[in-house]
Structure 1
């Protein structure tokens, strides 16, 4: 699967993404999402190898977000599809050097369109505890549905997350206008 937008290519990870992925791990928030395990290039390479094996088996869940002009990895987006319920949950990150450029919103919008147009899903949702990510979700057409109290726990710290979602009917209405 490859999705192209004005500025991005959303594609499978490649072996050559290792240095860019390690660079992104310098951000504590991104690093935490991977259980603080990516501290050396060999660990990043092992993770990419696992993704490549998943792709070979037909499972495409985690995708690279690359700058279109250079094909440089600048982020990642994960799509967890539950076909039985016709829904998907997305999560994403963008390298701190590429934030506030509209890339996250562009990637999320592309994945939402893919979910509704190609996969015929009825709902796409995302969880966030980050105000910047919350703005991305709103700009992408998602609607705040509520707060899940102490939904995540890392070490001794628990925190609340906000649930955002967009339904196919919301997407179709916005697309038609």
Structure 2
């Protein structure tokens, strides 16, 4: 479990399926990130038990309410990812429910994951990427100190369409130490 001023990042639980469905069924959430909207609470439960059961995948939980409203995670070189990573590198992924857009919650979560990556896991570099048109994810990358690295064109997304993907990188040397 990781705690920030407004959030708790914790493993997903079966009891989170209804909340996950509430936000992940929104067609403005998954498709821009390359995954289909959830179709039922049962579908969300299946995702919790499979995809979200991977190490370092966290429910983004509001401290005020205890409700999971998004997801963030660290993906390593030996897992599914899009960046061309080496050992001692990882990629951070994230999303948050539409009612919580623009509140700075995901940058807060990403900063906590960056601390975990560099201070606890002793990684050398962390990647972060987004598909063309996802201005909110681009803003998170920039706000959290990632620097543009390169663009991949005609990448096949998990939805089966071809997209342009922009990848950003933050190295341990460029990571700002705790204030």
Distance 1:163 1:105, change over 3 A: same
TM-score normalised by L of structure 1: 0.86
How far 1:167 sits from its partner (Å)? 0.3
Write out per-residue CA displacement over residues 114-173 of structure 1, whole angstroms, 9 at most, x where no aligned residue: 0000000000001112111111111101001121112233556311011111000001xx
Partner in structure 1 of residue 36 of structure 2: 36
The answer on whether the counterparts of 2:17 and 2:45 sit within 8 Å (CA) in structure 1 is: yes
Distance 1:35 1:70, change over 3 A: same
How far 1:78 sits from its partner (Å)? 2.3
- SS of 1:10's partner is strand
Partner in structure 2 of residue 13 of structure 1: 12
Unaligned residue ranges in structure 2 (runs of 5+): 79-85
Residues of 1 paired with 2:66 and 2:60: CA distance? 9
Higher helix share: 1
Residues of 2 paired with 1:108 and 1:162: CA distance? 17
Higher alpha-carbon Rg:
1
Taking only aligned residues, the RMSD between alpha carbons, in angstroms, comes to 2.2
Residues of 2 paired with 1:132 and 1:155: CA distance? 20
Partner in structure 2 of residue 168 of structure 1: 172
Partner in structure 1 of residue 73 of structure 2: 78
